[in-house]
Structure 1
Amino acid sequence: MIGDPLQRRSSRPGHGVVWPESGEPLLKPDGPRTIALWNGLAIGSGAFLAAAKDFGRRLPDGAFVLNLCEDRYRFSLALVAALLWGRITLLPPDRSPWTLRCLKERFRQVVCVADRRQDDLADLDILPVDPSPFQEQGEGEAIAIAPEQTAAIVFTSGSTGQPQAHPKTWGSLIESARLIAEALGSLQGRTLVATVPPQHMYGLELSVLPALRCGAVLDARRPFFPLDVQEALESVAGPRILVTTPVHLRALTAAGITLPALDLIVSATAPLPRTLAEEAERRFRAPLWEIYGCTEAGSIASRRTAREESWQVFTGMRLLPAGDGHCVEAAHLPEPIPLNDIVELLPDGRFRLLGRRADLVNIAGKRTSLGALNHILTSLEGVLDGAFFLPDETPGCTARLVAFVVAPGVEMPALLEALRQRLDPVFLPRALYPVAALPRSESGKLPRQALQALAERLGATRGEPSVRDDR
């Protein structure tokens, strides 16, 4: 890493671009091929590089590039343009005005690249990404990037506290993509349709980097609703891979729709219940692999969730005891990185996930995790989504567990009775709050701040025992 990645800015065009023999290739060196599908067009590698170099010339000298593109092709174009011209890309955990203001204040000289000019980003310098395709220019130049060049700064999602910045070098990103491809099998020629945003570490590693370095083809769209996912998959030729989350998988299975033939389904961002994995494999006739990782370290391990409980660590990565927890270390990581999750190392080198440290709940001397409680809640018949929550302590009021649930047509007393049959009495929620939807982030996570705001709006932080219907 060159200097302090949080402050370093380059005004030299092409900074970081080196001769191929001394760096890591920008694209997989396999000749002309399709990199992306955009608006019905197949974008080849030569045209992609030409467009990226042209867009890079428009980037202001020395500026950090805040990439807010939702279109995955535009996002990739801007990311590569920044790499070619020595700019560092900022990948925010969300698009809230507060987050964007914080990034602008922290990094000072920021240019925002977006799909189009947007009113809600009026206080930022906006540079729209015009993806008008260039004519194919052969194989394109053999361009390599110095592996130590800081390519991006990603941020924690805020689910365990305030977002923290984590610089990623080009070398660490492509090694992570290689390990994923090794675990999942060849990605060559497979089209990636993803429901997760490319700004999220999982979305970057599974839907963008494989198109650059592993021979995959990215689909520019980010479908959200089940029918959108169905349409996106039907519009691309096989072989197809669906990159998604437990929230989207649950919606897809509940919708009862038919998807075209899939080679693979990949899920991440939250533990996937085995029953849901089994149902998804049966309904969509494709193997489902789950990825375990974190923003700080990237992807770490995988498992075929319908068939196994434990996780297989990627080649060259190691989980080691560290203090009262564990850390992950690997040659492509700058240092051993502590895990926020509680894990159990197994004799065969695999591991089990036991929950998150921030999720531990200790009541009357008994311990469990919010993740375990959520798993029980969402496994109940009629429950589409749900989450337990322990509000912050307030003066004169002891915090008690509450639960928010998305369960159309289900009576809350019946649901509470079903929980009573499955939970120790000390972990029964003081109240159930039926809601139309949970405040999940774009990647499907539930930041504590969002749950706290929901709890305050519904009166759950005041210890009110009555149920309020907010559907």
Structure 2
Amino acid sequence: MNLSRILDRQVQLHPDAPAFIGPEKSLTFGELARASAAVAGGLAQLGVVCGDRVAVMLPNVLPFPIAAYAIWRLGAQLVTVNPLLKPQEVRHLLTDSGARVLVSLGQLLPPIAELIAELNIQVVTVGGGELGTPFEHLFAAPPLLEPAAVAPEDVVAVLYTSGTTGRPKGAMLTSRNLGYDSEACAAALEIGPSDRLFMVLPLFHAYGMTIGLLVCTRNGASVYLEPRFVPAQALAHLKQFECTAFIGVPALFAALLTTEGTALTNLRFCISGGAPLPLPVLEAFEAKFQTVILEGDGPTECSPVTAVNPLRGVRKAGSIGIPLPGQQMTIRDPQSGEFLSDGEVGEILVRGPNTFKGYLNLPEETAQVFVDDWLRTGDLGYRDGDGYFYIVDRLKDLIIVAGLNVYAREVEEVLQSHPRVRMAAVVGEFDELRGEVVHAFVEPISEQEPPEAQEIIRYCREKLADYKCPRRVTVMAELPRSTTGKILKRVLKEGFKGYSAQ
């Protein structure tokens, strides 16, 4: 199915209802459909045909959903590009994807002007600029009224992973992948026309794209687009635009706790994903703002949502919840390959209609992440007796101290329960005697009164076995984070393990 038919259906049901709202302007479903049909016609005049790739390098602004639905209407593939990437990083994505057209903010183009000329890629400029075709000029083309034919297994999006090991890889997501995941999420979250999602996570990220572009449009909910996260401003906009749902990562929830805020009476629920949510942050946020946070998870390769705590029923703090209906999750021993029982820690595997087609141009890497028809997520976790899943670490982040496994999340939960620590991350540091030891990085609540390293170590020794306790503690004013708020452990490892900060 062509994903633009999701939008067409809402036009039939609620043509004048708001679809996407910016700080100053908004788009109804009818306006979005007309605009995206016109831009699809304009892209066609630039030579884009079904199956071509079109790169979009935009923040959370109204032209993003217009461009995305235009690309899908054409039967082309959406390639999202983080606007904060450096020219060399943009080069890899454009070269690897073979994108024919780049839709970008004009102000982002001068640093990559030589690259654009070298690749002979056509540019569509949003918001002014000297390079390329102005975005508004695409509207003059005859609109593409009928969406292109798209088969379930046709690729409709290429999203590049964060590149924690080596260069970012392009995850190819099909119409079936995104169609299923958005439908399952919409049902699980009971999103409806009366809802308004506060969208500060970037639309170029899998989490933001599926929930922000597809789930809400599928069920007639509106989306408020916040271009940039500033805690006090975000809180004000949550109230001003009467948002009923908010998706974020742990760092965003922790940051909002620093604001002078009160109960968010319209906020029906929040969803946290992308990284483990510290229990103290969850409890403090729910108490301060009088709402609930549902934890969920899933990698880009799974479109991306695999599991979430139920909106109705038992909600288990620290758990990523139960699998979405229609897909399966299991636990497998990464060494022996045996499937494990409840309570046993192993790698989380997923299979179902949301698992991706593979990595673009990388058949060997694609083969490595599949075991038969099961996708290896790279997450270590376990399933409890009620079918709820828990993540304890990334397989690549497992720390082995003198032959004993140390799970980063367990140590980080203890660190973050310290009254003077806001956020924490632990990594393994080489040690000649033990193989590895735990190195903790902590972000203090107050830069004026940071905790001492020995104070942190003593605190951990009261709550953890000795081999799990940090041998080194580094206090940082702010932990390094990605644009989606994930703590970048590869940057923390760089100084003593030879990791490059990619």
Taking structure 1 as the reference length, what is the TM-score of the superposition? 0.82
| Contact 1:26–1:213 under 8 Å retained in 2 | no
The one-letter amino acid paired with 1:356 is R
Contact 2:156 2:175 in 1 (8 A): yes
Question: Which whole-Å CA distance do the structure 1 matches of 2:6 and 2:243 have between them?
Answer: 28
Match in the other structure for 2:451: 411
Of residues 352, 360, 371 in structure 2, which corresponds to 1:330? 352
Residue 222, structure 1, aligned to residue 223, structure 2: no
Question: Are residue 102 (structure 1) and residue 108 (structure 2) matched?
Answer: no
- 1:111-147 Cα offsets, whole Å, 9 max, x none, are 3212333233333354223687999xxxx96858635
What does residue range 244-259 of structure 1 map to in structure 2 within 5 Å?
244-258=248-262
State the distance in 2 between where 1:115 and 1:411 align. 43
Note the C-alpha offset of 1:321.
Answer: 4.7
Aligned to 1:318: 328
Deviation at 1:383, TM superposition (A): 0.9
Q: Secondary structure at the match of 2:387?
A: coil
Counterpart Cα distance in 2 of 1:248 and 1:239: 16
Q: 2:247 aligns with which of 243, 250, 259?
A: 243
Deviates more, 1:295-304 or 1:326-335: 326-335
Query: Residue 362 of structure 1: which of 384, 391, 400 is its match?
Result: 400
> Match of 1:438?
479
- Over 3 Å counting, the alpha-carbon distance change for 1:98 and 1:446 in structure 2 is farther
Residue correspondence of structure 1 range 117-136 to structure 2 within 5 A:
117-118=107-108, 119-122=110-113, 123-124=115-116, 125=121, 126-129=123-126
Instruction: State the alpha-carbon separation in 2 of the partners of residues 35 and 145 from structure 1.
Output: 25
Mapping 1:65-84, distance limit 5 Å = 65-84=54-73
Match of 1:154 in 2: 159
Q: Which moved more, 1:350-359 or 1:124-133?
A: 124-133
Aligned to 2:344: none
* Deviation by residue 1:264-287 (Cα, 9 ceiling, x = unmatched): 111111111233222211111112
116-125 vs 141-150, which moves further: 141-150
Note the 1:273-352 alignment, pairs <5 A: 273-297=278-302, 298-303=304-309, 307-310=316-319, 311-322=321-332, 323-324=337-338, 325-333=347-355, 335-352=373-390
Aligned-partner Cα distance in 2 for 1:284–1:416: 32
SS at match of 1:349: coil
Distance 2:223 2:377 in 1: 30
1:172-187 equivalences in 2 (<5 Å)? 172-187=177-192
Equivalent-residue separation in structure 1 for 2:180 and 2:19 (angstroms): 19
Distance in 2 (CA, whole Å) between partners of 1:165 and 1:253 is 35
User: Separation in 2 of the partners of 1:291 and 1:133?
Assistant: 41
> Once the 2 structures are TM-superposed, how far is the Cα of residue 259 of structure 1 from its aligned partner?
5.5
Between the aligned partners of 1:145 and 1:34, the Cα distance in structure 2 is: 28
2:342 is matched with which residue? none
Query: In the aligned structure 2, how far is the partner of 1:102 from the partner of 1:399?
Result: 34
Q: 1:317 to 1:285 in 2, by over 3 A?
A: same
Moved more, 344-353 or 429-438: 344-353
Q: Secondary structure at the match of 1:208?
A: helix
Tell me the residue number matched to 2:341. none
Structure 2 unaligned blocks of 5 or more: 128-134, 339-346, 358-372
Query: Cα–Cα, structure 1 residues 47 and 392, in superposed 2: closer, same or farther, change >3 Å?
Result: farther
Kept after mapping to 1: 8 A contact 2:182/2:211: yes
Q: Which amino acid aligns with 2:107?
A: R
Asked if structure 2 preserves the Cα contact closer than 8 Å seen for 1:66 and 1:89, the reply is: yes
Q: Which residue in the other structure is 1:469 paired with?
A: none
Q: 1:54 maps to which residue?
A: 38
Query: Normalising by the residue count of structure 2, what TM-score does the alignment of the two structures yield?
Result: 0.77
Residue of structure 2 in register with 1:7 after alignment: none
Q: Which amino acid aligns with 2:482?
A: S
Question: What is the aligned counterpart of 1:43 among 24, 27, 30?
Answer: 27
Q: Are residues 376 and 17 of structure 1, via their aligned partners in 2, closer, same or farther at CA, if it must alter by over 3 Å? A: closer
1:391–1:401: 8 Å Cα contact kept in structure 2? yes
Equivalence map 1:14-29=2 (5 Å):
26-28=8-10, 29=12
1:163-215 superposed Cα distances (whole Å, 9 cap, x missing partner): 22211122321221111121111332311112211111111122221232121
Q: What code does the residue aligned with 1:232 have? A: H
- d(CA) in 2 for partners of 1:132, 1:41: 16
Give the superposition deviation at 1:404: 1.8
Q: Distance in 2 between matches of 1:24 and 1:227?
A: 34
- More displaced 10-residue stretch of structure 1: 435-444 or 352-361: 352-361
Question: What is the CA–CA distance in structure 1 between the aligned matches of 2:235 and 2:318, rounded to whole Å?
Answer: 29
Which structure has greater helix proportion?
2
